[in-house]
Amino acid sequence: MSANLRAFLYAIAFSELGPDLLAQSDNGYDVIVGSRPGKLDRFTTYRAHPHKLVKVMIKGREVASTAAGRYQILGRYADHYMRKLGLRDFGPHAQDQIAIQMIRECRALEDVEAGRFAEAIRKCRSRWASLPGAGYDQHENSLIALQNAFVLAGGTLA
């Protein structure tokens, strides 16, 4: 995996979970939606996506979600990608492969590799609600914060 792709994956995880949850868990790979610093909900086996339905408050409204893992992948998408990619579990390697496939489907992989960070984020924003401009009426991180995370993780900008 290239340094830029590894750094981009980190920026997504940073956006979805934040640095505290990444540090308090198995690098985010075992985190269930709704977790926050001091209240970490983790799954204990990587055999499959946990499919735990969690109700979380987002901007004053209750939302039910099965998001889990480093990239907060919904259960139904995890199942689809695990079949499509021939993955045997929901471990760290599988979660990375799913995220990379999602980036590929957004036609952003070339931008990631070339260091066109803002363009790659723009193309991927439909997949992760925390990315700037996603439009899911949830918290969105700033492009500059994510770009800083990308660079700190070893990414190189064009």
**Residues belonging to the active site:** 16
What does the alpha-carbon distance between residue 69 and residue 124 come to, in Å, rounded to a whole number?
A: 18
Give strand pairing partners of 54.
Answer: 65
Half-sphere exposure of 81 (CA within 13 A, CB side): 23
Give strand pairing partners of 63.
Answer: 56
C-alpha to C-alpha distances, 16 to 19, 53, 83, 141, nearest whole angstrom: 10, 17, 24, 9
**Which structure tokens are listed for 152?**
């700190």
